[in-house]
Amino acid sequence: MASYNQWMNQSIYKAAAELSYADLVEEKGAFFGSVLGTLNHNLAGDIIWLKRFADHFIELSSLDLVRTIQRPAALNTQLFSELAPLQGQRFELDELIIAMMNEVSDEMLASALVYKNMKGIEHSQRFAFTLQHFFNHQTHHRGQITTLLSQMGTDFGTTDLITTIPSM
């Protein structure tokens, strides 16, 4: 899932780079308004979750970088107003996510992740299931972005996970 995530983000950002700035920030009625707003949301959501993982699993050295990044105040925080720096941090975090998944053990997956949500309410959930949510969240919003790109006539390529699964 981490590799698929990276591949799809590269495709989405390549397609978004073809848009004019006006098209990138135009209010389109998506959950987070525009293509840029939705890309910012995906990054903000990932930072929030990665910081939760980093706080709980201090042994994951792959998360050292995310420990230095400021936690977004809200899920609609606009981290970047331009695509290039947003893409830079996105691609950096995608590498970090792959490294994290290479460090995660079966014991970690089976353990409880204890964290506080954005309202400060504590949760305890199996780490494996929070990882499912983590990856599914991006897929959900990338689906919105691909819809917006399609409506603007921008080709983003194939999006099917099955195309990235190696043959046996």
Q: Which of 7, 25, 44 is nearest to 148 (CA)?
A: 25
Summarised one tens digit per residue, pLDDT across range 144-160 is 999 998 888 877 677 76
Cα-Cα-Cα-Cα torsion 65, 66, 72, 75, nearest 10 degrees, comes to 140
Dist. CA 36–CA 110, nearest whole Å: 36
Domain 2-160 is of which CATH architecture? Up-down Bundle (1.20)
Domain extents for the chain? 2-160
* pTM to 2 decimal places: 0.92
pLDDT for 94? 98
